[in-house]
Amino acid sequence: MVPPGESPNRAGRPRRTRSETAPAPGRGQRAQGRAGSPPAQPWRLRLRAARRLGLVAVGMGASLSLLGLVWPPGDPADQAQEGSSQGLKAELPSRPISVLVIGSDADRRGAESNGAAPAGAANSDALMLVRLAAKQPLDVLVLPIEAAIKLPGTTQPVALGSLYRRGGAALVASVTAELMGLPKGQPDRYLVVPRLALRQLVDGLGQVEIAPERAMLYRDKSQKLQIDLQPGLQQLDGAELEQLLRFREADGSEEGRRQRLKASVPALLQQMGQPRQLQQLPDLLRSLQDKVETNLSPNEALSLVAAALQPGSTPRFHTMPLLPPLTAAKAGAKPALRQLAGPVGQSDWPQI
């Protein structure tokens, strides 16, 4: 996680041109909130949420067997099936599947320290809930990591982004399900992506085309982090896309990073859909299996990628509106907590 602030301006690298590849898809819309809020959440996670926090770890482990029939018997990655995406040899899931995606601020899976700021155990630097289904567009909700959450048995709210450090993917999944009012057993799967896995994914795809909206210059010796990006449409490798997603504005707000994450999703999908990359995807996903934390098998992952790459499908982005922060963020401090605007649950999120 990048602390607020920027280094003094210095000469940037030459901008790469749009002509190097096909145009990138557009970005998702910006989340909006309402002004004026009490200092604490207007809701409480009920006793059933507390019970779920104890049971969800078992549920995560059991979900592979419970959902085994979602994908028909056999090896979907080796079967050409009607409805497969753009020649990708993978069966589409037989029903909609929801996946909680956690972007870890640790560099590697199982790292004792995140090597980021603030230093400590691995935390979630980005959160997404995605829904994939045959013959339907990809639905993406970028969850606000600074959303204030009141856990059972606690007196003070904590940031949604801090839950991975407190209770792992199980706790994040349980609270997300409670916030969204998801049916029992949702999300179906989870995927924790450390920074190394992100870099290797992008480099395995051969860069992505994306347009930073402004110059981004930052240096932090304690993190061994240097960000140097120039505005305009260009090709980014894995390290550069990591810089784009880690950069935070000087005021400490997270909104800019959410918008850049939304822009990165269609850019990655566009690159995955290129003919050469389609041929390499099965091997690439298998090579990343031990770099991530997930209850997805390689064949399940390939099936869901095929669903995301269906011809003519454009990602639909959803929002979880927030009220303005009660206090202004300070340079070098964590993002200020923000209260959810409105009732728990998302009226525009598809019912699974």
Q: What is the dihedral of CA 195, 128, 74, 137, to 10 degrees?
A: -130
Q: Which residue range is the domain that position 286 belongs to?
A: 34-318
Report the CATH number that the domain containing residue 184 is assigned in CATH: 3.40.630.190
List Cβ neighbours of 233 (8 Å cut-off, separation of 6 or more): 16, 17, 18, 24, 209, 210, 211
User: CB count, 10 Å around CB of 126?
Assistant: 24
Residues 86, 278 contacting (CB under 8 angstroms): yes
Question: pLDDT digits over 52-83, tens only?
Answer: 444 444 343 433 333 334 444 433 333 334 44
Cα-flanking dihedrals φ and ψ of residue 13, to 5°?
Answer: -75, 155
pLDDT number for residue 142: 95
d(CA 202, CA 270): 12
* CA 124 to chain CA centroid, nearest Å: 9
List alpha helices for 45-145, DSSP H. 47-66
Residue 3 located in a structural domain: no
Residue 134 located in a structural domain: yes
pLDDT number for residue 222: 74
Residues 261, 31 contacting (CB under 8 angstroms): no
How many separate domains does the chain show? 1
Residue 283 located in a structural domain: yes
Residue 338 located in a structural domain: no
Residue 14 located in a structural domain: no
Residue 333 located in a structural domain: no
Residue 335 located in a structural domain: no
Residue 330 located in a structural domain: no
pLDDT number for residue 148: 94
pLDDT number for residue 89: 79
- Please list the pLDDT of the chain residue by residue as tens digits (352 residues): 444 444 444 444 444 444 444 444 443 443 344 444 444 444 444 434 444 444 444 343 433 333 334 444 433 333 334 444 556 778 999 999 999 999 998 999 988 777 776 677 888 999 999 999 999 999 999 999 999 999 999 899 999 999 999 999 999 999 999 999 899 999 999 999 999 999 999 999 999 999 999 999 998 887 788 999 999 999 999 999 999 999 988 877 899 999 999 999 999 999 999 999 999 999 999 999 999 999 999 889 999 999 999 988 899 999 888 998 877 666 556 778 999 987 655 557 887 5
